[in-house]
Every structure is written in structure tokens, then in C-alpha cells.
Structure 1
Amino acid sequence: MKKEKIIRSSMLIVLLSMLALPTFSQIKIGVKADVGLNNPKFNNETLKVENMTAYSVGPTLEMMFPFAVLDFGLETSLLYNDNRMTISRLTGDEPKSSDVSNRYLTLPLNAKVKLGLGGLPIKLFGTAGPYAGYLISSDKVDFGEIRDDVKAKEFQAGANVGFGLELFKMLQVGVNYKVQLTDNYSVNEPNWRDPLNGKTETWSITGAIYF
């Protein structure tokens, strides 16, 4: 409960502080979504993890300070993130598979720059910054002998870098590279560590509409 209160308070403070910044900044609110591009796989002698997919969606806020050449500012979002994977047990008389989904509430906070292309209604943009996520629900690994040994962690964190195009000051499409710096699972048995807790590097395609 203490972790949950800290994360919720941090998210609220970030959003309120951005809304209270000077009026000469350009503030836009919109909706952002992303879909994972790569499909990493992990294996050891006991378990196989594959078919890993992820998507995120939620409100986003952009605050930019226009300068002579570049626009510089911040971007933050509050995203519902769903990560799905198939876990197969390789030991025992009959191999067994289970589909597992972990759902996080994720808060990325990025520095953002934009570069105009002459008189065209197109801008290049780049983003970089950390993110944090809090587990809101998860599916159990439904193998009796390891069910109590593998549990999804409540907190995850990492960093991401992205770039893309902005069209007509409202539509943004890009690619994001994310590096996860924490483990996904707490484990009591070392056999489960390799397939489930490999710190992953993922690519995703992103899209946002600002109003």
C-alpha cells in the first residue's frame, strides 16, 4: 500500500506541476498509444517464454517552449500497459502452456525537442527520459509446482528514447526504444530467473493525437 500511495502521489505531482508552468509555454493535451514491434523469446531447461506482445494507451500532455531554431519542452503520459506472453513448462510427463498477462499503469517523463522543416506543416521530434510503472493486475503462472515461486513485481522502471514526425501540429507518429532496468518477477527458485527476468530491450511504434 505504501508503494502504491507514493507512485500515485508522484504521478499527480508531475501532472499538476506541468499545468502550473508559465503561460508562455505551449501546452497540449491528447491521447497516446504504442504497440511493441519485436517479439523476444527466453528459454532455459525448465521453462520457455515466447509470443511476448505489449501495447499501451492513455492520456498525454506536452509542454513546449519555442525558441528561434528548436522547440524544447517536456512530455508526460499516464498509460495503461498490457504485456502478454506464453509460458511453457518443459519438464514433466506432459508439457503444459499458459497465457499470462501483466497490466501496469506507466508514467514516462521525457525531455522533448522539435525541429521545423521550413514552411512545411511537418516537424521532426525526439524524446528521451525515464519511466516508472505500477502493477495493477496480473495473471498467475498456472503450474502447481511453481505457482508460489513466481510472482509479478509491483514496480518496474527503465529508460526510453524516441523519434518521429509531427504533422499539422496535432498528429505525431514515431518509434520508441525502451530499456527495462528492473526485473519483472520475484522468484524463490533460481531456475525461473533466466526466462522470466531477462531485462529486455524493446522497440515500439507510437502514435499520439493532440487537441
Structure 2
Amino acid sequence: MKKLLSTLMVMACLVLAIPAQAQINFGIKAGLNVSKLHLSEDIVSKDNRAGFFIGPTADFTLPVLGLGIDGSILYNQFGVDSDTGTSTKKSIEIPINLKWNIGFSSLIGAYVAVGPQFGFNVGDRLFDDICEFKKSTTSFNVGAGLKLFSHLQVGANYNFALKDNVKIYDVEALTGFKQNTWQVSVAYLF
């Protein structure tokens, strides 16, 4: 009984000590995104569209396990072209990623991250009188990157839409398209 009680006490102390060693860092993230539109009709251009994103970020890490969570609130923008003009889609994106960190030394490390991203349209909803951007979108991120000097993160991720991002009102039918995006980012954590 004494051994069981001693083992349980050691385990309880370890469980309580892990959150005390956890690290939370705040910073700013910015980068470039390149979007590809996937649709069945030739109403808008399907070519790759470049844009940018910027916003605050937070990184929570459990150092013993290398697991953590990072989240950001990013202002995101990219252009959409059609026969009659160009529109800029503006949104607030909130990615929340489960992150696994691998430290090679105190100066350099790597990470892989996966998680959902929630987007909220903050720009014009109507484009070209036939397209309507949805108020909110949900997508999924897969990414990897490097941590340098404990403060700088350089990463790349692929973000793919789970549902249509835009409704297209055509004369014959209602269609939509998905927006999948490559992102390259730089984050500085204080």
C-alpha cells in the first residue's frame, strides 16, 4: 500500500510540474498566401492568386513532450478576377493548430502542425453581381517550419477548404467554389 501511495504521489507531482514548465509566447505573424480556386464553371479565373496576411499569434508549448498549440488572429486578403473586373476578398482567419516541436539545439528546432482554421468575411460580400462570398468558412491546415533563436519561426502550410467559400448565381444553377491556399509565414515571438 505504501508503494502504491508513493507511486501515486510521484505521478501527481509530475503531472502538476509539467504545466508549471509550460511556455506561452506571444508575437506577430505575417506572410504570403497563394490561392488556387477550384470550380466547375469558367465564371471567374481559376489562376493562382497572391495575397498577404498579418496578425497577432500565441504559442503554448509543453517542453517535456514537445507538444503545443498555436493560434493566431490574422487579417487575410487576396484577389479574384473575372471578365468584368477584380475583387479583393478580405477576411479574419483564426487558425488553431496542434503543434509538435523537435529541438535540435538551443538555436534551431523544427515543428509540424495540423488543425482547423475559421474564417470570417470582413469585406464586400457581393462580387460581379453573380458571386457572393460566404460570411464564414472552415478549412484545415497542414504545415511545417523551423524555429530559430527561440524567437523566430519560419513556416509553410497548405490550407484546404472543407466547404465552398463562394456562391455563384448562374442563370441555370447555383454553384460554388473552394479556395485552397499555400502559405509562407514568418513569426516573431516575444
- Asked if Structure 1 and Structure 2 have the same fold, meaning a TM-score greater than 0.5 normalized by the shorter chain, the answer is yes
Post-superposition CA distance 1:71-97 (Å, at most 9, x none) = 111000001011212112xxxxxxxx3
Instruction: Tell me which residue corresponds to 2:146.
Output: 165
Q: CA deviation at 1:210?
A: 0.3
Instruction: Tell me which residue corresponds to 2:116.
Output: 130
Query: 1:24 and 1:100, CA in 2 relative to 1: closer, same or farther beyond 3 A?
Result: same
Q: CA deviation at 1:192?
A: 6.6
Query: Structure 2, unaligned stretches of length 5 or more?
Result: 1-18
Q: Return the alpha-carbon distance in structure 2 between the equivalents of residues 37 and 188 of structure 1.
A: 25
Instruction: Tell me which residue corresponds to 2:7.
Output: none
Q: CA deviation at 1:202?
A: 2.2
Q: CA deviation at 1:50?
A: 3.6
CA contact (8 A) 2:36 2:180 kept: no
CA contact (8 A) 2:36 2:46 kept: no
SS in 2 for 1:44: coil
The percentage of counterpart residues that share the same residue type is 28
Structure with a larger share of its residues in strand: 2
Count of matched residue pairs: 171
Instruction: Tell me which residue corresponds to 2:85.
Output: 98
SS in 1 for 2:127: coil
Q: Return the alpha-carbon distance in structure 2 between the equivalents of residues 85 and 150 of structure 1.
A: 10
Query: 1:116 and 1:206, CA in 2 relative to 1: closer, same or farther beyond 3 A?
Result: same
CA contact (8 A) 1:53 1:85 kept: no
CA contact (8 A) 1:71 1:113 kept: yes
Q: Return the alpha-carbon distance in structure 2 between the equivalents of residues 99 and 26 of structure 1.
A: 44
Instruction: Tell me which residue corresponds to 1:24.
Output: 21
SS in 1 for 2:93: strand
Query: Structure 1, unaligned stretches of length 5 or more?
Result: 1-21, 89-96
CA contact (8 A) 2:132 2:168 kept: yes
Q: Return the alpha-carbon distance in structure 2 between the equivalents of residues 45 and 159 of structure 1.
A: 26
Which structure: larger Rg? 2
CA contact (8 A) 1:162 1:175 kept: yes
For normalisation by structure 1, the TM-score amounts to: 0.72
Q: CA deviation at 1:43?
A: 7.1
Post-superposition CA distance 1:46-71 (Å, at most 9, x none) = 5544452222110000000011xx41
Query: 1:123 and 1:47, CA in 2 relative to 1: closer, same or farther beyond 3 A?
Result: closer
Partner residue of 2:127 out of 137, 141, 144: 141
CA contact (8 A) 1:81 1:106 kept: yes
